[in-house]
Amino acid sequence: MPQKRDRLIIIGSRRSFLWREPAGRPTTLAEILEADPNPRIPVYVMKRLAGAYRDRPIISDPKRGDIAPTCVAHYAKDLSTRLVADERFPHGVRPYTVREYARLQGVPDSFTFSGSETDAYRMIGNGVSVPVGQWIAAEIVRYFN
């Protein structure tokens, strides 16, 4: 997944077992971005860019091969903390859409969120990334077989 999401996963076992590392080709940030996004851009995004807050936003640029920062639940309250470079928008940046944020967590596009946009961002930020959950489950099944 194209996000910086350092996690320590501890799995204990009574018998010797060789836990395999996840396999597969990493997804790039450019691959998860929508072709024609329509993000909500609150006024406070421009205020943060102008330096009105003590910290600057984390801006990821897919053209440089950047990855996104960790998806967090509080993104639901402040879309200005994590932005993606996109020259089609004011100041060349914009917030992630709900679908893009979900893709950062490996949520398939077929998944439908219930509730508001804020609820969706919160669910995504609080969730375990789908590929990590699948990897852990597959390794546990392999352990017991």
| Residue 60 belongs to domain with CATH number | 3.90.120.10
Residue 16 inside a domain? The answer is: no
**What distance in Å separates the CA atoms of residue 78 and residue 76, rounded to the nearest whole number?**
6
Using 50 as the pLDDT threshold, list the residues of the chain that sit under it. Answer: none
pLDDT at residue 25 in the model: 79
Residue 62 inside a domain? The answer is: yes
pLDDT at residue 7 in the model: 76
Question: pLDDT by residue (tens digit) across 123-133?
Answer: 999 998 898 89
Residue 43 inside a domain? The answer is: yes
**Residue 120: which domain range?**
29-144
Residue 133 inside a domain? The answer is: yes
pLDDT at residue 33 in the model: 96
Residue 73 inside a domain? The answer is: yes
Residue 111 inside a domain? The answer is: yes
> What is the tally of structural domains in the chain?
1
Q: What is the pTM of this model?
A: 0.87
Helix extents (H) in the chain: 29-32, 43-49, 98-104, 117-126, 130-144
Residue 39 inside a domain? The answer is: yes
Sort strands 82-85 and 58-60 into parallel, antiparallel or unpaired.
parallel
